[in-house]
């Protein structure tokens, strides 16, 4: 379920939404790296970041798109590496089980739900970015499958999922800069949305 050894063309054909998410994440990171970190166009990088980061103050003033754009925004290499790798590992199987449109709804839905939770429960000056909440949302969906649709997940894969959930939850508290609320709300939203997503889903 989680081993990726397909040729690129096969991966692109079978998991187009996963590929698109990864491509957008990496493209935005590289753009900010070149324009900002390498100082090719620092003002552009700064303005782009300010326009796409999840700023509660900006959202309250009408920047509704910042409930979506933070899911695709990464600044540091470790951040994009961890999230891109997690998406590469955990997204394809769900895209296969749900179909591309339901999977896209799952990924964006859990990310947006997490951003809404931050808006409602964090201070107006709080800002956040990254795909981590959506990744935790995928893990929440997997937990639902383990609990309620165990026949879709093999025993070895269940162990991998449970270990990753535990490691992810514990590591969320290790870095003071991590959006712990975002991680937990993303995970919970995935678990809650899963029964709806799997109604008549083309699982195989």
**SS (HEC) of the chain:** CCCCCCCHHHHHHHCHHHHHHHHHHHHHHHHHHHHHHCCCCHHHHHHHHHHHCEEHHHHHCCCHHHHCHHHHCCCCHHHHHHHHHHHHHHHHHHHHHHCHHHHHHHHHHHHHHHHHHHHHHCCCCCEECCCHHHHHHHHHHHHHHHHHCHHHCCHHHHHHHHHHHHHHHHHCCCCCCCCHHHHHHHHHHHHHHHHHHCCCCCCC
Closest CA to 70 of 87, 50, 89, 90: 50
Residue 132 annotated as catalytic: yes
Question: Choosing from 55, 74, 86, 183, which is the catalytic residue?
Answer: 183
Residue that the structure tokens 């390498």 belong to: 38
Question: Choosing from 127, 132, 185, 189, which is the catalytic residue?
Answer: 132
Tell me, rounded to whole angstroms, the distance of Cα 200 from its chain centroid.
Answer: 24
Residue 74 φ then ψ, to 5°:
-135, 145
Looking at the annotation, which residues are catalytic?
Answer: 132, 183
């Amino acid at each position: 379920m989680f081993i990726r050894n397909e040729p690129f063309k096969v991966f692109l054909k079978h998991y187009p939404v996963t590929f698109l998410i990864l491509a957008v994440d990496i493209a935005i990171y590289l753009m900010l790296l070149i324009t900002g970190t390498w100082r090719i166009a620092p003002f552009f990088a700064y303005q782009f970041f300010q326009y796409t980061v999840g700023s509660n103050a900006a959202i309250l003033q009408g920047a509704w798109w910042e409930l979506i754009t933070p899911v695709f925004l990464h600044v540091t290499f470790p951040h994009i590496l961890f999230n891109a790798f997690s998406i590469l590992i955990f997204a394809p199987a769900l895209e296969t089980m749900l179909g591309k449109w339901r999977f896209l709804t799952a990924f964006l839905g859990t990310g947006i739900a997490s951003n809404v939770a931050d808006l409602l429960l964090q201070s107006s000056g709080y800002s956040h970015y990254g795909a981590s909440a959506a990744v935790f949302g995928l893990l929440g969906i997997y937990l639902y499958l383990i609990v309620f649709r165990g026949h879709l997940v093999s025993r070895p894969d269940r162990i991998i999922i449970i270990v990753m959930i535990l490691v992810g939850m514990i590591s969320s508290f290790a870095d003071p800069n991590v959006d712990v609320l975002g991680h937990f709300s993303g995970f919970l939203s995935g678990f809650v949305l899963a029964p709806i997503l799997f109604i008549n889903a083309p699982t195989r």
